[in-house]
Amino acid sequence: MSRILAAASVLAVSLAGCSVGITPGQSPSGEYKVEVGYQQAYKAARAQAEMCLTGKDAYAIQGGVDDAGRKATLRVTAPISGNDVARVDITGIDAGHSDVRIAMWGRSIWNGDAVIAMRDAIRFQVPTCVSYMPSDTNNPVKAPQ
């Protein structure tokens, strides 16, 4: 029943002219260097997404690890449209460091707080839906315009 309601809500929003998903340059995002290898970063991002970003399994998690390219991508996609509501792109720098780019839709649970929570879940390897760490002023979340 809840899946039907979630799907109906997404359809209603789509038909109302509101776009569902990440809008480049407008959605909350952040770019970070972390002291975690790309494979571990992906595992932490996936655990975070499963715990906090699927809306009771109404949204799908997609992506994977590219060992040859030392990269990983994680996407949380909306039902019906398949648009990304959360995206994490990870590039391995060396065995223990990665560049991480996190973007969220900017609505509901996919907001600027979710960007920070995802960053901290990757950094500290502990998924939690809210960050309890002091904010990093060197790499603030880019607010929607």
Do 86 and 13 meet the contact criterion of CB atoms below 8 Å apart?
Answer: no
What is the per-residue pLDDT for 12?
47
Element containing residue 38 per DSSP (H, E) = helix 38-52
21, pLDDT greater than 60: yes
Task: Find tokens 């449209």 and name the residue.
Answer: 81
Q: How far apart are CA 38 and CA 65, in angstroms?
A: 8
What average pLDDT does range 15-34 have in this prediction?
85
What is the per-residue pLDDT for 14?
46
- Rounded to 10°, the helix 112-124/38-52 angle is 130
pTM (2 decimals)?
Answer: 0.82
pLDDT in tens, 86-134: 999 999 999 999 999 999 999 999 999 999 999 999 999 999 999 988 8
Q: Which residue has the higher pLDDT, 10 or 59?
A: 59
Rounded-to-10 torsion of CA 45, 108, 142, 17: 120
Q: Please, what CATH class does the domain formed by 2-124 belong to? A: alpha beta
Do 80 and 12 meet the contact criterion of CB atoms below 8 Å apart?
Answer: no
What is the per-residue pLDDT for 17?
44
